[in-house]
């Protein structure tokens, strides 16, 4: 049994969805979790309010109050790849995340996530990821160390002042030269009927990427991708829209059958660079990882 050392949290919504207790809301919020599991967690003292006081099975629903709980999984996979720290000061930490390792707990992963590994490695229990990468994507992740300055770094993402560069490899259908060509993809991305997949839809655009071909070798090509916005799976969908799905993508264009990870076939998408003006020091920050996606 894998049990998280750190609590997950959620805020009860302002509008009651029709429940009377916290237990009923948790059952409503997480339909894939057996209701008896939530009841057992509460009985064992693993669910509490922001002030630390325990929530009981009779605790009434309280709008906009935070609820903390500890995630559990029966058999947690161990990801056999190592993370690394590229930079650290009193405010932020920049780390490299390998393929297959989630940034934060989710699904069948509790302790096998980048945030937990870094908290254990550095001893910084306040360490918190400021953004996300898909579990199957490798690359740079920015963390906040100091809770007092966290909001300033978070604002960089909200106001699109973080400039990201990704690399991706695709398999080509033809051998015509694309090196140096550039595409600007602007469209609307919405959630599909399958909640874990997104899709391109009609309507007001909400996603924007600039994409350029860097190199070609045989039937493969390396692309540079610069997302202007940050929608879920944006780059994967934008490459698909151009007709070149990212190599080893198991979600797009077609959803592959669920199966264990194939560590020798990672999604060929890498968060290569991060650039921004530090809101505290006003210095220009630029970080790049040494990892390269191999064309051959």
pLDDT digits (tens, 9 = 90+) for 184-215: 999 999 999 887 899 999 999 999 999 999 99
Distances (CA, A) of 239 to 16, 118, 158, 173, 220: 40, 32, 24, 14, 14
Level-2 CATH architecture, domain 164-270: 2-Layer Sandwich (3.30)
Cβ atoms of 133 and 97 within 8 Å: the answer is yes
Domain coordinates in residue numbering, the chain? 2-73, 84-161+280-288, 164-270
Query: Residue 257, Cα to own-chain centre: how many angstroms?
Result: 22
Q: What is the pTM of this model?
A: 0.85
Say what the pLDDT of residue 175 is.
Answer: 65
Cβ atoms of 131 and 142 within 8 Å: the answer is yes
pLDDT digits (tens, 9 = 90+) for 51-78: 999 999 999 999 999 999 988 877 888 9
Say what the pLDDT of residue 296 is.
Answer: 78
Say what the pLDDT of residue 295 is.
Answer: 87
CATH of 2-73, one of 3.40.50.300, 3.10.290.10, 3.40.50.2020, 3.40.190.170: 3.10.290.10
Say what the pLDDT of residue 1 is.
Answer: 60
Q: 84-161+280-288 and 164-270: same fold?
A: yes
Q: How many CB atoms lie within 10 A of CB 27?
A: 18
Distances (CA, A) of 243 to 76, 196, 293: 36, 22, 20
Taking the C-alpha atoms of residue 31 and residue 128, their distance in angstroms, rounded to an integer, is 27
Q: Which residues of the chain have pLDDT under 50?
A: none
Taking the C-alpha atoms of residue 142 and residue 279, their distance in angstroms, rounded to an integer, is 14
Residues in CB range of 263: below 8 A, 6 or more apart: 80, 81, 99, 100
Q: Which CATH superfamily is domain 84-161+280-288 in?
A: Pseudouridine synthase (3.30.2350.10)
Say what the pLDDT of residue 73 is.
Answer: 79
């Amino acid at each position: 049994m894998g049990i998280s050392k750190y609590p997950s949290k959620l805020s009860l919504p302002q509008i009651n969805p029709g429940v009377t207790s916290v237990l009923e809301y948790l059952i409503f919020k997480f339909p894939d979790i057996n209701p008896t599991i939530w009841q057992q967690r509460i009985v064992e003292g693993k669910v509490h309010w922001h002030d630390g006081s325990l929530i009981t099975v009779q605790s009434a629903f309280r709008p906009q109050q935070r609820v903390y709980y500890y995630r559990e999984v029966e058999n947690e996979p161990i990801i056999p790849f190592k993370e690394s720290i590229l930079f650290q000061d009193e405010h932020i930490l920049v780390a490299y995340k390998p393929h297959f390792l989630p940034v934060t707990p989710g699904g069948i992963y509790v302790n096998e996530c980048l945030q937990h590994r870094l908290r254990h490695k550095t001893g910084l229990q306040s360490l918190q990821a400021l953004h996300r990468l898909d579990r199957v994507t490798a690359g740079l992740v920015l963390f906040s160390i100091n809770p007092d300055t966290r909001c300033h770094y978070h604002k960089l993402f909200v106001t699109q002042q973080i400039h990201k560069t990704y690399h991706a490899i695709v398999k080509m259908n033809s051998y015509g030269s694309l090196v140096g060509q550039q595409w600007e993809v602007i469209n609307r991305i919405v959630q599909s009927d399958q909640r874990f997949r997104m899709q391109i839809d009609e309507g007001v655009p909400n996603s924007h990427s600039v994409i350029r071909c860097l190199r070609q070798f045989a039937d493969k090509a390396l692309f540079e991708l610069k997302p202007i916005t940050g929608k879920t799976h944006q780059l994967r969908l934008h490459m698909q829209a151009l007709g070149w799905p990212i190599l080893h993508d198991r979600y797009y264009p077609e959803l592959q059958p669920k199966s264990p990870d194939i560590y020798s076939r990672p999604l060929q998408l890498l968060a290569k660079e991060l650039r921004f003006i530090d809101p505290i020091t006003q210095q220009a920050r630029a970080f790049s990882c040494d990892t390269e996606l191999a064309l051959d």
